[in-house]
Structure 1
Amino acid sequence: MQDKAAIIGGGPAGLAMGRALKAFGIGFEIIEQNADFGGLWNRDWPLSPVYDSAHFISSRTMSGFDGFPMPEDWPDYPRHDQILAYTRDFARAHGLYEHARFGVAVAAARPTADGWDVETADGERRAYRWLICANGATWDAKTPAIPGAFDGRIRHARDYNSADDLAGRRVLIVGCGNSGADIACDAAQRATHAGLSLRRGYWFIPKHFNGLPTDVYAARQPNVPLWLRQKVLKRRLRKQIGDLARLGLPEPDHELLETHPLMNDQILHHLRHGDVAIYPDIDRLEGREVVFKDGARAAFDEIILATGYDWSAPFLAPDVNPFDGGRAELPLCVFSPERDDLFFISFIKAAGSSITLFGEMAWIIARALRAAAAGGAEHAKLRAEVARNDYDLLKGLRTVASSRHEAYVNRDAYAAALLRLRRRMSWPKTESADA
């Protein structure tokens, strides 16, 4: 057995993990099925959900790997190709290429008495002491069953690439997360008719407030209770955006911040100019027509399902796979309740930059591996903490009852939980050169 960790996935999560383990002097290999790092930002990967018009939805100022800021001359919200270049620059800066195995997909990871047996698609098997799943949470498309039959094209948003594909077509986008809103904007510019089917109302948050990126603006506000933050922000949104019911949008059936933030200015522009038509939820399909819940019907050439993603670790056997039955809440979103040699770093959803979250998670996992390597009281204490799992990751935030928001966390609550773990474990408040 190699006394090292196997990190499955070379996206931002895997790179953050590699940097942390290298700082701790723990051996590791990053197993990446593509020819280079990048994860979902690598559009050469057939399952990448990134499309031509994709941009970051958190600002460059508040995003990225700790200690490795994005260039100041970049736009507030970088393009997808800039994020790809940034991740690879990070990998080069931290010497992670020399720890990578590219072009090999993991076929199976099997637990053994003292670690993991990892088999790649080429038939090679290697043994590792630890397994860290960094294989991403935005690639396994969730496709709802819609009654009836459709004579046009139906595809998931993951398989959408360019507005050029929509030219001259009547297109219906189902779902209004950030991808759905982006694709609706593309359709507004190129399609003959652009429709957006909504199951519920949404809070639309602009990408700038008072001339600042919204997350920068929010970070500068006083630290007040959640209910007061919701009240103040709603008032400011009403003043800046106006009544969205005028644009045909249904009223939200939930409080502000109780769903993942929808950050898009362009969709409001197109709604105000009549470029996008709003439809209710779909009832059934009949040939080229879509019949909606209110009885209305309209003809379309294409339906794009912006209906989210399942969380998957398909290389894990069901008895050790927490996502075998769907999304799952893991202790602090990183620990396996059953095994002390299995960790997860991709599987978290919260407002704000995922890359930044991955960095925070990586340092905790690195500490856990060092404790496991040393054994003794610290390791036993950590396993007791994992078993107790009494960390509140919402702190009063109620999320809507949807699969998209299962295992969702409040960013502030999550940061407080990690700090609480550090205090209980007598770990330093933040990582530094003493790691």
Structure 2
Amino acid sequence: MENMFRLMGSEEFSDRRRCIWVNGPVIIGAGPSGLATAACLHEQGVPFVVLERADCIASLWQRRTYDRIKLHLPKNICQLPKMPFPEDYPEYPTKRQFIDYLESYANRFEIRPQFSECVQSARYDETSGLWRIKTTSSSSISGADMEYICRWLVVATGENAERVVPKIDGLTAEFEGEVIHSCEYKSGEKYKGKSVLVVGCGNSGMEVSLDLANHNANPSMVVRSSVHVLPREIFGKPTFEISMMLMKWLPLWLVDTIILILAWLVLGNLTKYGLKRPNMGPMELKAVTGKTPVLNIGAVEKIKSGDVHIVPGIKGFSNHHVELVDGHILDLDAVVLATGYRSNVPSWLQENDLFSKNGFPKSAYPDAWKGKSGLYAAGFTRKGLAGASADAVNIAQDIGKVWREETKRQKMRTRVVYRRCISLA
């Protein structure tokens, strides 16, 4: 699958990297999106190389998630192409179960990523018509710089590649308590009896606050803007499945109206607890902005009981205190920044056709998976694992079609040469 060669451009004299030719595509990222794409290519008979900067697959799940996390959506919606979850898995698999599933998935489709390969740059060489991907290895074994040369490049680094850390007055210079991002949070056990401020009210903020309350901490959660909070299930049926079913028959605004009425029946009026809903409905908001509604798995009950306090925006930090925009001052032991993640694609991909400056494709779903010159994007749909799976299938079919046609032509040329040799003999 790999042959060593060197493209002798002027830059090669100053850049002493090993060059590797890859017959098929290079996939950057060994998370669910990259694994799904690799599996679909495997089924198409197309060789590939997967590059991963971490030392494991699905590093977000293995290294940067808290212990209590589960899939927010039912397993039948989250399974990757070609392999369902085991039948004995619960409706919402745990963190460990999902990781086990991904590891089994990689083994089944013979996906063996090149770990500890951090991509420094990727650019399309107009002269050769090939992609050139420069990497630096953090492996203690090799520690070598590499350059991969290929015809197709699949960007599968995902929507959550880098943590977002907001700049808040006094947080880094004056606050004397512990400050961590939610990707570093594992359990509320060590925060028992402590006052913790959770900055952010998305799914991570809600779950961290819930976990802190369950471990007898004193959590306060910052809610600066409006947020949709929906029950994970409505009358025993997953809310997401109900929404998808209704959208097959009804306009989006009517689906949102029905979902919000059902949510009010299950959760009640949350405005009086400090959780104000946006003017735009939850499904429309996700379609327009990609912002996912919060699925309640117990945080609302803790808010209603007073075990989780809702507070407004932050004015600034000092010593062991935080001053809020309403003038109140809270004593704090720690701060958890549940402020989300961002794409890192603009920092290394040198192109301006498929991706915009925010690291997401310029085109909306379902047309965001393919660019020009053999460039593809997997897992940037803002539609979770289902969207990543759809991207993977499309990408593999697109590359596979070209691969089969060219392989067929190569075989035909080989047969012609062979026949000529026979006739000459």
The 1-side partners of 2:121 and 2:292 are apart by 33
Q: Which amino acid aligns with 2:108?
A: A
Q: Which amino acid aligns with 1:288?
A: H
> Which of 368, 387, 397 does residue 333 from structure 1 map onto?
368
> Which of 198, 203, 207 does residue 232 from structure 2 map onto?
207
Cα contact 1:76–1:213 (8 A) shared by 2: no
Cα contact 2:25–2:153 (8 A) shared by 1: yes
Q: Which residue of 1 aligns with 2:377?
A: 344
User: CA 1:150–1:254 in 2, change beyond 3 Å: closer, same or farther?
Assistant: farther
Q: Which residue of 2 aligns with 1:227?
A: 253
1:134 is displaced (CA, Å) by 1.1
Q: Which residue of 1 aligns with 2:184?
A: 159
Equivalent positions of 1:113-192 (< 5 A) are 113-121=128-136, 122-148=144-170, 149-192=174-217
The 2-side partners of 1:333 and 1:167 are apart by 45
> Which of 68, 85, 110 does residue 95 from structure 1 map onto?
110
**SS where residue 92 of structure 1 aligns?**
helix
Cα contact 2:119–2:348 (8 A) shared by 1: no
1:191 is displaced (CA, Å) by 5.0
Q: Which residue of 2 aligns with 1:422?
A: none
* TM-score normalised according to structure 1 size: 0.77
> Which of 271, 276, 280 does residue 245 from structure 1 map onto?
271
1:251 is displaced (CA, Å) by 4.5
Cα contact 1:110–1:317 (8 A) shared by 2: yes
In the TM superposition, what whole-angstrom CA distance separates every residue of 1:128-172 from its partner, at most 9, and x where no partner exists?
A: 111111122213011111123322222221221221232232101
1:14 is displaced (CA, Å) by 0.8
Query: Which is further off, 266-275 or 327-336?
Result: 327-336
The 1-side partners of 2:69 and 2:347 are apart by 29
Cα contact 2:234–2:262 (8 A) shared by 1: no
Q: Which residue of 2 aligns with 1:41?
A: 61
5+ unaligned residues in a row in structure 1: which ranges?
377-435
5+ unaligned residues in a row in structure 2: which ranges?
1-20, 137-143, 286-290, 407-425
In the TM superposition, what whole-angstrom CA distance separates every residue of 1:372-398 from its partner, at most 9, and x where no partner exists?
A: 55899xxxxxxxxxxxxxxxxxxxxxx
* Aligned length in residues: 364
Q: Which amino acid aligns with 2:316?
A: R
Cα contact 2:253–2:281 (8 A) shared by 1: no
Q: Which amino acid aligns with 2:381?
A: I
The 2-side partners of 1:244 and 1:120 are apart by 49
User: CA 1:127–1:13 in 2, change beyond 3 Å: closer, same or farther?
Assistant: same
Cα contact 2:155–2:376 (8 A) shared by 1: yes
User: CA 1:144–1:324 in 2, change beyond 3 Å: closer, same or farther?
Assistant: farther
1:293 is displaced (CA, Å) by 1.6
**SS where residue 131 of structure 2 aligns?**
strand
RMSD: 2.5
Q: Which residue of 1 aligns with 2:79?
A: 64
Q: Which amino acid aligns with 1:266?
A: G
**SS where residue 40 of structure 1 aligns?**
helix
Q: Which amino acid aligns with 2:115?
A: F
Cα contact 2:123–2:351 (8 A) shared by 1: no
Q: Percent identity?
A: 26
User: CA 1:150–1:321 in 2, change beyond 3 Å: closer, same or farther?
Assistant: farther
**SS where residue 173 of structure 1 aligns?**
strand
The 2-side partners of 1:163 and 1:139 are apart by 24
Cα contact 1:150–1:288 (8 A) shared by 2: yes
Q: Which amino acid aligns with 1:330?
A: K
Cα contact 2:380–2:388 (8 A) shared by 1: no
* TM-score normalised according to structure 2 size: 0.79
In the TM superposition, what whole-angstrom CA distance separates every residue of 1:96-117 from its partner, at most 9, and x where no partner exists?
A: 23xx323433333343232122
The 1-side partners of 2:129 and 2:379 are apart by 24
1:58 is displaced (CA, Å) by 0.8
**SS where residue 165 of structure 1 aligns?**
helix
Cα contact 2:199–2:337 (8 A) shared by 1: yes
